[in-house]
Amino acid sequence: MELQFLGGASEIGSLGLVVRDQGRTILFDYGITPSDPPSYPRPLPSTIDAAFISHAHLDHTGMSPIVSRLPKTRIVATAVTTAVTDLLARDNLKVARLEGYLPPYTSDDIQTLRSRFTETDPGGSVRHHGIEVDVAPAGHIPGAAMFRYRGAKDLIFSGDVLLQATHLVPAAEPPKGDVLVMESTYAGREHPDRKVTEREFREKVAETVARGGQAIVPAFAVGRAQEVLLALQGTGHDIWLDGMAKKVNSIYLNHPRYLADSRRFRRAVESVHTVASSEERRHAAREGEVIITTGGMLDGGPVLTYIAEHYKDPRSSILLTGFQVDGSNGRQLIDQGTITVDGVTIRPECEVLKFDFSAHAGHSDLIRIVRDTGAKTLVLMHGDQREALADALRGELDVVLPENGHRFEV
């Protein structure tokens, strides 16, 4: 069985894995790196018998419309992943137009993509052109799947995985297999206790509101905004939700079986105000106690409106809830205390804090996943500190640290 990463082997972004086995060519994920401008994985082979998309984050699914250019390739994903992929692809075209770079695909490609999806469910199996793949829940975000390809060997592709259940999604259930291709975002790092993080987060929000400020909570639209919404459920604050998360909420509510508790999620969504117009945004910016909004890394989106209104107010706070990539405004804010908007650098005087709401397994949970699968070979991907995990596991099984483009046998 031959493997080749088109991207995402030793970095977080632009993931794509080609597996060649018994005359078949299979693709797992095809994503972008949402930098400004974005970067893309290597080109696809000329034929792919079937493609499997683990979940609807841009680094895993952002290039799906390109896959639909191959004649007849079916693209397998859960129903919620197909719906959010469509939303992200259309939003990407809009962002490309606004930022002035050439998008990698057209709206016609997105149209074709819709007709190429084959929907599946965690717990199910897919057979297509003699290819048999089992689907297992990956935790992480609604609809996220791990795949087990039954070929010359049983190969598991983890996508992004979280062993612990969250407010939003049930825990991952890793399948058994011979070869495990696993993400390693948090190799060498552990997360703080989630309950403690959430308590501190709620306390900081309450403190901000009590002193008359606004708590601005930048959050990624797909998964994070919803988890934060649930973490704030029942606090009684005047909460406003802005940005693409509103559309993602509707998709999640239309696919309740992917949620840990769909009734609870519906109550949480109904208990907050959603910003539906620029007038409402102005009102929310002035009057809202808590704002949950995109962009999660402060590089664009409605969050900048709220920051512009409150950055001089020491009673207010910016409470980051996600990974801040190097070069982003969020990273600059943490490291240097400034953000740059339209070439102008400002130094917010409000409080700035970061909370770890990560939906990726930490180091020891990654080791647990490896052991639970019973794999004899581990291929580490989707991480920039893979050695930490490789060092911890080398005595137990074969560990491969592939580089992009390199073809290797397992």
Binding positions for Zn ion, rule: CB under 5 A: 57, 160
Nearest approach, Cβ of residue 60 and Zn ion (Å): 6
CA distance 355 to 376: 36
Nearer to Zn ion by Cβ, of 57 and 167: the residue is 57
Nearer to Zn ion by Cβ, of 59 and 134: the residue is 59
Nearer to Zn ion by Cβ, of 151 and 383: the residue is 383
Q: Are 212 and 315 a contacting pair, CB within 8 Å?
A: yes
Tell me the DSSP string of 232-271.
Answer: TTTS---EEEESTHHHHHHHHHH-GGGSS-HHHHHHHHHT
Please classify residue 270 by burial: count the beta carbons closer than 10 Å to its beta carbon, then call 0-12 exposed, 13-18 middle and 19+ buried: exposed
SS3 87: helix
Nearer to Zn ion by Cβ, of 53 and 350: the residue is 53
CA distance 103 to 88: 13
For 294, which DSSP code?
A: S
Nearest approach, Cβ of residue 232 and Zn ion (Å): 22
Nearer to Zn ion by Cβ, of 57 and 331: the residue is 57
The amino acid sitting at 146 is: M
Nearest approach, Cβ of residue 56 and Zn ion (Å): 8
Nearest approach, Cβ of residue 88 and Zn ion (Å): 12
Helix axes 79-99, 107-116, angle to 10 degrees: 170
Nearest approach, Cβ of residue 273 and Zn ion (Å): 28
Nearer to Zn ion by Cβ, of 14 and 305: the residue is 14
Nearest approach, Cβ of residue 2 and Zn ion (Å): 26
